[in-house]
Structure 1
């Protein structure tokens, strides 16, 4: 069956998303790499910091073009902002774009026509990869905001990575904490996402164990009275 779009707006939008999802995911990783170099590289390491800033700007423009194209193809007008609010958030906060790994996995599977992982395995894999990307992105963003602030306790990227791990896992030691309003806003977002990811992993793992035990019980021969 051909995957070419028909004349309907939803089909054209689906075709565009299927064709661009993987390339844009790779672009999002380039965006993250450029942002990391811009934040972590010393100020005297030119022209690398300027090249990183250029890479960040170019990849963000790709995201903007993709957003505008999908808005036009949807046929929804500005209602697209409401129905696709997550895409709007990702455009404003492009550091969150790598978290769309679920759609990436589905796009790759549709192209290769391979059997997909078990549902529980997929959820745990998605949550695990999302946690790594989210933690790294949050550590970069918080370090960028905090390390030069008066009274800051997050002075190195190591401090920021430690804080991100403690916050994402809901441990929260409190030895290093953000002091700037933007740093605390990032922390609040990371707390919410951490709870959601942790719940997804533990819930899926528990359901998988229950399924395994149920199947084992069904295989046992009936006991004689």
Structure 2
């Protein structure tokens, strides 16, 4: 078993585990269930965490250079080990984005568009969820509902930043920092995609118009050439007849 084969085999199981974690975590955060009512959600979260832990251990074991892989993936160990970083387990949904990108068709622009829309939607929702989890039980917080959290996440990722809602806890600010950085990347891709589409559209239209002008010019030249060819042919015939007449006259004089 190689690392690449394990990652390919575990792709869909990890997607399912991440989605189950998202659903259970959403119920826990949005409903703010008491401990005695949210047992099933806790169990789902723990099962998903166990799947993440098995995947982490398998990838570490199968890595060609375990020490290097361990150092490069310290963030995953921190996410698994520290309860305060539980919202960051939503990063496992990046696997789902890879699957969406791979199933979006062959056209590069179509795949990119689907990927960007999915990324932006997931960023807004996961950022809102993480911020609400960190903020809703703090007495000084102003993000108290999923509506407030989604509004804050949307204004943050679009760099509008009205300032009517903002995180006050450390974990909430960490979630905000991640949302800001990821939002800049997503907006950059959106801007580049729009610019590429505009440039390609203008280039295509310019090329089409240039072809029309060229075809019209060629047709006009061909229309002019035909009468000229006829006139040249007629003049050639007249010159031939005159030459023949002159030669005949010379022979008569002699």
Contact 2:97–2:118 under 8 Å retained in 1 = no
Residue in 1 that maps onto 2:133: 144
Pairs aligned (count): 208
TM-score, with length taken from structure 1 = 0.81
Contact 1:30–1:59 under 8 Å retained in 2 = yes
Following superposition of structure 1 onto structure 2, how do residues 32-111 of structure 1 map, counting pairs within 5 Å?
32-44=22-34, 46-47=36-37, 49-83=38-72, 93-105=88-100, 109=103
Q: What are the superposed Cα offsets for residues 165-218 of structure 1, whole Å, 9 maximum, x if unpaired?
A: 111111111111111122111111111111111111111221122223323333
For 1:87 and 1:149, locate their aligned partners in 2 and report how far apart those are by CA, in whole Å: 27
Residue in 2 that maps onto 1:218: 207
For 1:145 and 1:207, locate their aligned partners in 2 and report how far apart those are by CA, in whole Å: 39
For 2:69 and 2:9, locate their aligned partners in 1 and report how far apart those are by CA, in whole Å: 20
For 2:208 and 2:73, locate their aligned partners in 1 and report how far apart those are by CA, in whole Å: 46
Cα distance, 1:117 vs structure 2: 3.2
Q: Which has the higher contact order (CA 8 A, sep 6+)?
A: 1
Find the partner of 1:155 among 144, 154, 158: 144
Residue in 2 that maps onto 1:30: 20
Structure 2 gaps, min length 5 = 218-254
Residue in 2 that maps onto 1:173: 162
Structure 1 gaps, min length 5 = 6-11, 110-114
Cα distance, 1:85 vs structure 2: 6.5
Q: Structure 2 vs 1, CA of residues 173 and 87 (structure 1 numbering), >3 Å: closer, same or farther?
A: same
Question: Larger helix proportion, structure 1 or 2?
Answer: 2
Find the partner of 2:186 among 187, 192, 197: 197
TM-score, with length taken from structure 2 = 0.73
Following superposition of structure 1 onto structure 2, how do residues 118-133 of structure 1 map, counting pairs within 5 Å?
118-133=107-122
For 1:201 and 1:122, locate their aligned partners in 2 and report how far apart those are by CA, in whole Å: 13
Q: Structure 2 vs 1, CA of residues 85 and 217 (structure 1 numbering), >3 Å: closer, same or farther?
A: farther
Contact 2:30–2:145 under 8 Å retained in 1 = no
For 2:123 and 2:89, locate their aligned partners in 1 and report how far apart those are by CA, in whole Å: 12
